[in-house]
């Protein structure tokens, strides 16, 4: 909104791909330079528009992976089977290519430091992306603050993936948690586990949430992102466990039958 | 023309499909679920529906009374602001025209704006002209079966000519108002009116 109360149009901008990072066999991060980018909040997304040489266009939405503190904008894209746009973004684009986008979009599924904690993040598959922006924002914003600031904003992340090599941001999550005792990262691997895996090996359920999530009495800010069945089930279970619906924010993607 | 995306070909639709897709949309055969929070579960024994006039007069129906009103079945294309469109969805419910004429007997008079309010706290605003004249329903059946909770059941508003966030899930009240007031997404950066054919997705889109 401008000061006189009229909204200005969210403009299409031409971004340049600076780098492409391989995250998992099916997932890549596009690191973008976006001239004039107005800034964003962790959890927001952008619309991407592709144009074929005959003028045909396709648009899709992607969550922003980078925190507001980064000078570059990062989008992490999972290649969907039979996707129209994601195979192009995750395979055809290279450093130096350009991409049209507009944003930031979405003012509800967002978290920043003043929103407070504790924070409960529950993700499935590429649903980790907006949650990672929140973790990165917290890490960057509190980098120079004392340990007391982190203790006031403790985080628990419960992340469901099919197998270990499909865990997006695996090494970064490990190193964030190793240096920060107020961040607890719990993985569950639903299809296949590495040898000697001692962690969870099933879809997120009530018992897992009772064990891992903050109790409702702590009044955590809850963000759930993933395929619809995961989000529906986790959100309903948390409400059954006493969490206030108004503190439970959800973002869903994919077909109704998707599963992680 | 916008810059060409090197090597992008895209998936061309048939001319028929293309003519039914508003700009920036793609067709899905699935029925994706999008909601900002947990799905509310309201028992039909406590569910009721209210049509409230700006003058404070209110018409109210229990579930049994509501579903006994004259029903209509309608087949519509729907368009979600997140880019998917779904063709030929079949709904059954009560036309807002019917609700207004029933409510007139209770002293509820029309006003130019409507705010839909829902279980879970969701709201959305529409001009009265966009929910009258056979353009909107309160639907409780989808594809011949009770509307599932994750898709808005027991009942949702259906305003298929606007982006689907206007078709409020879990709707419990239509409030007639003399002046417009933005609803949930309309206060969070989404367009106040939301015409898919003019691609009015976000605040500021013309």
Paired tokens of B149? 């909770």
Name the residue with higher pLDDT: A166 or A3. A166
Fold that domain A113-253 belongs to in CATH: Rossmann fold (3.40.50)
Give percent of chain A with pLDDT exceeding 90: 86
User: B38 and A256 in contact by Cβ < 8 A?
Assistant: no
Model confidence at A6, pLDDT cuts 50, 70, 90, reads low
Contacts of B132 (CB under 8 A, 6+ apart): B96, B97, B100, B110
pLDDT higher at A254 or A154: A154
| Out of A53, A61, A246, closest to residue B121 by CB | A246
Q: Which residues of A touch B38 (CB under 8 A)?
A: 235-236, 238-239, 245, 248, 250
Grouping H, G, I as helix, E, B as strand and the rest as coil, residue A88 is helix
Confidence check: pLDDT of A7 > 80: no
CA atoms within 13 A on the CB side of B127: 9
- pLDDT tens digit string along A106-145? 989 999 999 999 999 999 999 999 999 999 999 999 998 8
Calpha distance A73→A155 (Å, rounded) = 24
Nearest to A73 by CA among A110, A39, A47: A39
Q: According to the model, what pLDDT value does residue A144 have?
A: 85
Q: Which residue has the higher pLDDT, B29 or A99?
A: A99
The alpha-carbon gap from B69 to the nearest alpha carbon of chain A, in Å, equals 32
Contact B202 A10 (CB under 8 A): yes
Residues A52, A54, A55, A57: is their CA dihedral positive or negative? negative
CA atoms of B199 and B206, how far apart (whole Å): 8
Cα B87 to chain centroid, rounded? 15
| HSE-up of residue B191 (Cα within 13 Å, Cβ side) | 21
Highest-scoring range by mean pLDDT, A84-88, B128-132, B202-206: B128-132
The Cα–Cα gap between A168 and A57 comes to: 29
Q: How confident is the model at residue B33 (pLDDT cuts 50, 70, 90)?
A: confident
pLDDT averaged over every residue in chain A: 93
Domain ranges of chain A: 13-105, 113-253
- Chain B residue with CA closest to A234: the answer is B38
Q: Do A88 and B8 touch (CB under 8 A)?
A: yes
Judged by CB atoms closer than 8 Å, whether chains meet at B26 and A84 is answered as yes
Sign of the dihedral through C-alpha B1, B10, A45, A78: negative
Residues of chain A neighbouring B30 (CB-CB closer than 8 A): 255-257
Taking residues B127-149, report their average pLDDT.
Answer: 97
pLDDT in tens, A11-45: 999 999 999 999 999 999 999 999 999 999 999 99
Helix (H, G, I), strand (E, B) or coil at A197: coil
Any idea which residue has 């395929």 for tokens? A227
Q: Which residues of B touch A97 (CB under 8 A)?
A: 5-6
How far is the C-alpha of B186 from the C-alpha of B142, rounded, in Å? 26
Q: For the residues B168-188, what does the mean pLDDT come to?
A: 97
Residue A131: its pLDDT value, please?
98
Residue B1: its chain A contacts at CB < 8 A? 51, 55
Residue-wise pLDDT for A187-206, tens only, equals 999 999 999 999 999 999 99
> Is residue A219 within 8 Å of A249, Cβ to Cβ?
no
Least CB-CB distance to B36: which of A49, A105, A108? A108
The pLDDT assigned to A256 comes to 41
Average confidence score pLDDT of chain B:
95
The continuous run of DSSP H or E covering A74 comes out as: strand A73-78
Domains and CATH numbers, chain B: 44-198 (3.90.420.10)
Give the number of C-alpha atoms closer than 13 A to the C-alpha of residue A157, restricted to the C-beta side.
29
By Cβ distance, the residue of B11, B31, B36 closest to A250 is B36
Which of B6, B8, B86, B123 is the best residue to mutate to test the A interface, defined by the most A CB atoms within 10 Å of its own CB?
Answer: B8
Superfamily of domain A13-105: Translation factors (2.40.30.10)
Cα distances (angstroms) measured from residue A79 to each of A48, A84, A164, B159: 15, 10, 17, 33
Residue B156 CA to its chain's centroid (Å): 7
Identify which of A6, A100, A107 has the shortest CB distance to residue B189. Answer: A107
Q: Look at residue B175 and tell me whether its pLDDT is greater than 50.
A: yes
* Chain A, nearest residue to B24 by Cα: A59
Partner residue facing B37 (CB), from A6, A97, A235: A235
Q: Show the 3-state SS of chain B.
A: CCCCCCCCCCCCCCHHHHHHCCCCCEECCCCCCCCCCCCCCCCCCCCEEEEECCCCCEEEEEHHHHHCCCCEEEEEEEECCCCEEEEEEEEEEEEHHHHHHHHHCCCCCCCCEEEEEECCCCEEEEEHHHCCCCCCEEEEEECCEECCHHHCCCCEEECCCCCHHHCCCCEEEEEEECCCCCCCHHHCCECCCCCHHHCCCECCCC
Q: Do domains A13-105 and A113-253 have the same CATH topology?
A: no
Nearest to B2 by CA among A10, A38, A15: A15
Q: For the residues B147-171, what does the mean pLDDT come to?
A: 97
Q: What's the average model confidence in pLDDT over B80-100?
A: 96
d(CA B137, CA B99): 9
The whole-angstrom separation of Cα B196 and Cα B86 is 13
Describe the crossing of helices A128-141 and A170-179 by its angle, rounded to 10 degrees.
30
Confidence category of residue A75, pLDDT binned at 50, 70, 90: very high
Cα–Cα nearest to B20, from B144, B160, B142: B160
Write out pLDDT tens, residues A150-167: 999 999 999 999 999 999
Paired strand residues for A11:
none
The pair of three-digit structure tokens given for residue B57, joined into one six-digit string:
């007069």
């Amino acid at each position: 909104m401008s000061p006189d109360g009229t909204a200005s149009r969210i403009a299409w901008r031409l971004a340049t791909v600076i780098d492409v990072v391989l995250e998992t066999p099916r997932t890549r991060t596009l690191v973008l330079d976006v001239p004039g980018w107005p800034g964003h909040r962790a959890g927001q997304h952008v619309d991407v528009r592709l144009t074929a040489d005959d003028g045909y266009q396709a648009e899709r939405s992607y969550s922003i992976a980078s925190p507001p503190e980064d000078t570059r904008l990062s989008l992490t894209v999972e290649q969907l089977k039979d996707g129209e746009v994601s195979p192009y973004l995750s395979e055809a684009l290279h450093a130096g290519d350009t991409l049209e986008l507009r944003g930031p979009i979405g003012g509800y599924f967002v978290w920043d430091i003043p929103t407070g904690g504790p924070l409960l993040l529950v993700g499935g598959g590429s649903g980790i992306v907006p949650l990672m922006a929140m973790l990165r924002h917290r890490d960057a914003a509190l980098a120079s603050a004392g340990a007391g600031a982190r203790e006031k904003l403790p985080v628990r992340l419960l992340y469901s993936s099919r197998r270990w090599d499909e865990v997006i941001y695996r090494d970064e999550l490990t190193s964030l948690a190793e240096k920060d005792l107020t961040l607890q990262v719990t993985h569950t691997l639903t299809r296949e586990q590495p040898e000697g895996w001692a962690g969870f090996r099933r879809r997120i359920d009530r018992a897992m949430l009772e064990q891992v999530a903050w109790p409702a009495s702590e009044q955590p800010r809850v963000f759930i992102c993933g395929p619809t069945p995961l989000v529906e089930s986790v959100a309903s279970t948390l409400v059954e466990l006493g969490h206030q619906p108004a503190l439970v924010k959800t973002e869903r993607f994919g077909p109704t039958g998707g599963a992680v | 023309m916008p810059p060409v995306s090197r090597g992008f070909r895209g998936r061309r639709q048939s001319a028929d499909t293309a003519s039914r897709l508003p700009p920036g949309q793609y067709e899905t055969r699935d029925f994706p679920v999008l909601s900002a929070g947990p799905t509310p579960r309201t028992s039909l024994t406590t569910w009721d529906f209210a049509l409230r006039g700006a003058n404070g007069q209110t018409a109210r129906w229990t579930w049994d009374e509501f579903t006994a009103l004259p029903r209509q079945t309608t087949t519509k294309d729907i368009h979600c602001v997140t880019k998917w469109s779904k063709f030929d969805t079949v709904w059954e419910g009560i036309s807002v025209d019917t609700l207004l004429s029933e409510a007139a007997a209770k002293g509820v008079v029309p006003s130019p704006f409507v705010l839909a309010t829902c279980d879970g706290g969701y709201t959305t605003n529409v001009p009265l002209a966009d929910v009258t004249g056979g353009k909107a329903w309160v639907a409780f059946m989808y594809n011949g079966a009770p509307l599932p909770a994750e898709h808005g059941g027991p009942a949702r508003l259906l305003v298929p000519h606007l982006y689907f966030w206007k078709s409020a899930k879990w709707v419990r009240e239509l409030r007639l108002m003399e002046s417009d007031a933005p609803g949930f997404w309309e206060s969070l950066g989404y367009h106040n009116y939301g015409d898919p054919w003019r691609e009015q997705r976000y605040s500021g889109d013309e």
